[in-house]
Chain A
Amino acid sequence: MPTNRQQFDDQLNTLRSALVEMGRKVEEAILNSVKALKETDLDLAQQIVDQDVEVNQIEEKIDEIGTTLIATQQPVAKDLRRILTAFKMASDLERMGDLAVDISKVVMRIGNDALIKPLVDIPRMAEIVQLMIAESIQAYMEENVDLAYKMAKMDDEVDHLYSQILRELFVFMVDNPKTVNQSLLLCFVSRYMERMADHATNIGESVVYLVRGHRPDLN
């Protein structure tokens, strides 16, 4: 029987705040990476790359607190699920941060070249992905299973946009081989965003696991 339940609760709250902070940073990184792409803003892209280290540091902090709590508190039931969820979510958020960095690197590779077309579907995809991240974090904060399910549904739309973008870029490449280089980079960007949506869906699954104790397949 842990006698220092208050201290344990404080630590669990620290884990929660760290995850929320991590979620905010990743959300911002994704928003900025798409902005940098649309506006070919190389400075902003560089800033995203530089700031990723902060996301990684929060993940390390979450790992450290969670490991200490398992070693010292022998958590069970929801306490245990809370810690396992924190590990899993931190890992998903960290991957999302990396994907924002990948998009920023694409921005840097495109450099000051003019875009082959005005971007429409990619920003739309970005908007949905961003909403998914925001709602997944909100679902986690409120332990709102319904919101987790609703958020995960948006993944279908992201998948739909992803294949639409690939088809469109494929036509571009066939019509004008000079666009192949940039088209491929934009294919990567849409792929990165499709992966982000999958990670957001994973977070939704983690929320359901936290609340109900079983992990559904929302993907």
Chain B
Amino acid sequence: MIQLMEKEDAATAADQRNEIVLDTRELNLWYGPEQALKNIALQMSEKQVTAIIGPSGCGKSTYIKSLNRMVEMNPLVRITGQVMFKKRNIFHKNYSVEELRTQVGMVFQKPNPFPKSIYENVAYGPRIHGIRKKKLLDEIVEKSLRDAALWDEVKDRLNENAYGLSGGQQQRLCIARTLSIEPEVILMDEPTSALDPISTLKIEELVQELKQDYTIVIVTHNMQQAARVSDQTAFFLNGEVVEFNDTVTLFSNPNDQRTEDYITGRFG
């Protein structure tokens, strides 16, 4: 019996070793002559939440924006190294940015809904991907809004302008918009820094829900938020990863003195 139980435990442990979805290898990035990322190596597993913390200018936003190649919108950017998304290098010339971004969605610091109705905000992505049937679009809109924990608040006013929503609702709408095209990864760049504490809590709860189905990377200035929502945390400093560790370990007994100094507020 004990042997059987041990076997089961081993099987569960194996299941928990999720597949690596995003594998960053020796990633270097320059803005003109300035090197913003230095030899970044990070592995993000399926259905895990990874938090990126670090002081302003440490490269955390640059890093997260490189994961869906948004960083390349700046013409001065030069990149070496690889980011393997499901074993394919996203920087390879044959990898289309559009294809990447349908699978790696992003939510920004300030909610940025389109100046359209709530419904249209969510239906926009699926429409671009060729979905025309009203019934199917309705289903996608409802499911996305439900998954973003917004449905109950907006179901009776789907045709109203999204700008009429509160900041927290707008941010959840942007999350619903991201979910509508069924990505595998959701990148969040300081998603709650413009929100009040209650809306922040709702987004944090949502992150916990979403990680059942999605791999999430979240950049945050709020270290308690990183501690609350993430499974693993990377501490960036001057463009380098100082420490990448289990969140609990990183916040209770970090390996690197610089991590300790940063999270205890001795600099940054």
Chain A residues in contact with chain B, CB under 8 A? 1-3, 5, 8, 74-81, 212-214
* Minimum CB distance partner of A1 in chain B: B265
* Minimum CB distance partner of A4 in chain B: B265
Q: Bound complex: CA of A79 vs CA of B265, how far in Å?
A: 10
Q: Bound complex: CA of A81 vs CA of B264, how far in Å?
A: 12
Contact check: which of A3, A79, A214 meets B264 at CB < 8 Å? A79
Give chain B residues whose Cβ lies under 8 Å from the Cβ of A2. 265
Is there an interface contact between A77 and B263, defined as CB atoms closer than 8 Å? yes
What's the nearest-Cβ distance from chain B to residue A117, in Å?
51
* Minimum CB distance partner of B261 in chain A: A77
Within 8 A of A (CB), among B210-268: 223-224, 227, 251-254, 259-260, 263-266, 268
Chain B residues in contact with chain A, CB under 8 A? 223-224, 227, 251-254, 259-260, 263-266, 268
Give chain B residues whose Cβ lies under 8 Å from the Cβ of A3. 265
Is there an interface contact between A213 and B253, defined as CB atoms closer than 8 Å? yes
| 9 more A-B residue pairs beyond the given contacts A76-B251, A76-B252, A213-B253, with a C-beta to C-beta distance below 8 A | A76-B223, A77-B252, A77-B254, A77-B259, A77-B264, A79-B264, A81-B252, A81-B253, A212-B253
Is there an interface contact between B266 and A76, defined as CB atoms closer than 8 Å? no
Q: Please indicate which of the listed interface residues A1, A2, A75, A213 has the most CB atoms of chain B within 10 Å of its own CB.
A: A1
Is there an interface contact between B260 and A78, defined as CB atoms closer than 8 Å? yes
Is there an interface contact between B265 and A5, defined as CB atoms closer than 8 Å? yes
Q: Bound complex: CA of A5 vs CA of B224, how far in Å?
A: 16
Q: Bound complex: CA of A5 vs CA of B267, how far in Å?
A: 10
Q: Bound complex: CA of A74 vs CA of B226, how far in Å?
A: 13
* Minimum CB distance partner of A212 in chain B: B253
Is there an interface contact between A1 and B223, defined as CB atoms closer than 8 Å? yes
Q: Bound complex: CA of A131 vs CA of B90, how far in Å?
A: 64
What's the nearest-Cβ distance from chain A to residue B207, in Å?
19
Is there an interface contact between B251 and A1, defined as CB atoms closer than 8 Å? no
A5-B265, A5-B266 known; A77-B223 Cβ under 8 A: no
The contact sample of 27 A-B pairs, CB cut-off 8 A, is A1-B223, A1-B265, A1-B268, A2-B265, A3-B265, A5-B264, A5-B265, A5-B266, A8-B265, A74-B224, A76-B223, A76-B251, A76-B252, A76-B263, A77-B251, A77-B253, A77-B254, A77-B259, A77-B263, A77-B264, A78-B260, A78-B264, A80-B252, A81-B252, A212-B253, A213-B253, A214-B253
